[in-house]
Structure 1
Amino acid sequence: MFELRRLRLLHELAQRGTLAAVAEALSYSPSTISQQLAQLERDAGVPLLVPEGRRVRLTEHGAALAAHAARALEADEQIRAELEALQPGIAPVRVAVLQTAARTVMPAALTLLADRAPLLRVELAEVPPEEGLFELAARGFDLAIAEQYPGLTREHRSGLERRTLGTDPIRIATAATGSGGGGGGAGADRGGALELAALADRPWVMEPRGTAAREWAVQQCRAAGFEPDVRFELADLAAHVQLIAAGHAVGLLPDLLWAGRRPQADGIALTDLPGSPVSEIFTAERRAATPRPGIRLVREAIADAFVRPATLNA
């Protein structure tokens, strides 16, 4: 009889590619992972792994058993969902959230949950959407809040279900006139006449390479006829705001960042991009976990808390 815990290790290896990555994700030592997979191989009676340099790869038998492991884990999750339906709140809900939603949506959602389900434990981690969706599929999280930029499609992982929350406009951000730091006059208020091409010779701040936000921002600059001089590469959007307000950089920022306050108060002027592009903000969950009442309650609270600012300059 196969042990589900060992099947999960094989599934994780198929997802992550290396024993070290599996060990880090599950907080085990690599030697422990190796020992458990060796026992699984003995249980199966066929080779599951073969060495490949310093790594290992799945054999044909290993890949077949990993596929069965994924289905076994889904069945386990469905059973747990049915049990939780009989006693809601017995398991925490782990949420992966992108930075803007962590700042604006989740505090309001947690306030709603404190009233609707006071015994429900919600665990929150701010991670990039790329990582959050991967970890959701790998069962590191139960729910994820992510974004999709216009013209860029994210990988659709099997077993995940997406639900749209709303849209988030993205605008050119420059230092507001008179905010200091030099270069304050380079911007224009929302709806002004500033063109993206006018910022071709300015330093830019963008999110790290490999993120959808970075790829989309670079494509906007290229479409305007120039390659951006990205001098500042930062994941923290609050740091973007500070650099831009001080006149050291320009950038592209989402409206959700300003929910509840005016960008001018932070020394930022916003200008619409051509076509007024918006990103789609969505939640994702594993279909096998959808029956869990805790996940449903958190998803509904997030949807109720998501409000796009009606105006930024009022």
Structure 2
Amino acid sequence: MFELRRLRLLHELALRGTIAEVAASLSYSPSTVSQQLALLEREAGVPLLEPDGRRVRLTPQGRMLAAHAARALELDEAARAALSAHSGLETVRMAAMPTAAETIVPTALTMLAERVPQLRVELSELPPEESLFELSARRFDLVIAEQYPGHTRELRAGVVHELLGEDPIRIVMPPDEDPAPLSALRDRAWVMEPSGTAARLWAVQQCRAAGFEPDVRYEASDLTAHIRLIAAGRAVGMLPDLIWGDAPSGMTLAELPGSPVREVFTAVRESAEADEAVDLVRSALAEAFAAHRRVAP
């Protein structure tokens, strides 16, 4: 009989690629991970790992067992969800993108504290690129993420998305300026999210569609830094309405061509869909998003 904990290590290695990353993710030492994988290999009776330079990689048998490990972990999660429905609520581990963590999540947590005070919710603020990967790796039970028009997120096997709502994206300019169309900002300095993020790719495409390559002088993953740079007159940017919470922005806002919106959604593993605690959190988030200010800042 295979031990589930060792199967999870193999599953994590298939996802992350290195023993060091598996160890860091699960708070083990690399030597412990290696030792446990060696024991799993002994239980399997076939080679699961092979040298790949200074690293290791899965053999064909290792990849096969990793696929079975994923299914075993799904069954374990489904069984725990069924039991929790009869024995009380458990902890829900949630990851949220910054704009959601700072606006709709506090409202949802207040709702949950009033309705189900015994439910414990843990929150980590992470960009969607990281949180959606970690959802598949079972570090989180629920993720709040977004996708931009024409930039659909990767559809991972065993993960279900549910739309929370649409969030308008606008040009943001210093407060002492008049609104201007995107095409008039070709000579301005821009602040955008880091290269490789969906937000950055989308924003650059908007500028190119308007006929210019943006001068991205400032990069920041923290959108508060975007606001401060723009407020100081050092840059212009594109930001979603959710960043303002329920307060006026105090900035000059202008519409982008076509008035685009990003989709804000929750993601959970299929095996956790029946989990009562996860469902309660998803419902509270949907209610909090719907209650969020519906007018332009």
Partner of 1:258: 244
- 1:7, 1:310 → 2: CA distance? 47
- 2:231 equivalent to 1:231: no
Q: Which amino acid aligns with 1:284?
A: A
Decide which of 281, 285, 288 is 1:298's aligned counterpart. 281
Whether the 8 Å contact between 1:255 and 1:309 is mirrored in structure 2 is no
- 1:119, 1:174 → 2: CA distance? 45
Q: For each residue in 1:246-298, what CA deviation from the matched residue of structure 2 results, as whole angstroms up to 9, or x when unmatched?
A: 1001000001112211112xxx1110001000000100100101111110111
- 1:298, 1:311 → 2: CA distance? 25
Q: What aligned pairs does 1:147-162 form with structure 2 within 5 A after superposition?
A: 147-162=146-161
Q: Which amino acid aligns with 1:291?
A: A
Q: Which amino acid aligns with 2:205?
A: Q
Q: For each residue in 1:221-252, what CA deviation from the matched residue of structure 2 results, as whole angstroms up to 9, or x when unmatched?
A: 11111111111110111111010011001000
- 1:110, 1:207 → 2: CA distance? 28
Decide which of 262, 265, 272 is 2:255's aligned counterpart. 272
TM-score normalised according to structure 2 size: 0.98
Whether the 8 Å contact between 1:88 and 1:293 is mirrored in structure 2 is no
Q: What aligned pairs does 1:22-37 form with structure 2 within 5 A after superposition?
A: 22-37=22-37
- How far off is 1:110 after superposition? 0.5
SS at match of 1:263: coil
Q: Unmatched 5+ residue regions in structure 2?
A: none
Partner of 2:66: 66
Work out the percentage of aligned pairs sharing the same amino acid. 64
- 2:294, 2:118 → 1: CA distance? 33
Q: Runs (4+) of structure 1 moved beyond 2 Å?
A: 307-310
Q: Unmatched 5+ residue regions in structure 1?
A: 178-184, 189-193
- How far off is 1:115 after superposition? 1.1
Whether the 8 Å contact between 1:261 and 1:312 is mirrored in structure 2 is no
- How far off is 1:87 after superposition? 1.7
Partner of 1:181: none
Partner of 2:51: 51
The number of equivalent residue pairs is: 296
Whether the 8 Å contact between 1:9 and 1:37 is mirrored in structure 2 is yes
The two structures, once aligned, show a CA RMSD in angstroms of 0.9
SS at match of 2:144: strand
- 2:207 equivalent to 1:208: no
- 1:159, 1:46 → 2: CA distance? 28
Partner of 1:77: 77
Decide which of 174, 181, 184 is 1:198's aligned counterpart. 184
SS at match of 1:147: strand
Whether the 8 Å contact between 1:93 and 1:294 is mirrored in structure 2 is yes
Partner of 1:310: 294
Partner of 1:101: 100
Whether the 8 Å contact between 1:88 and 1:294 is mirrored in structure 2 is no
Partner of 1:180: none
- 1:66, 1:310 → 2: CA distance? 46
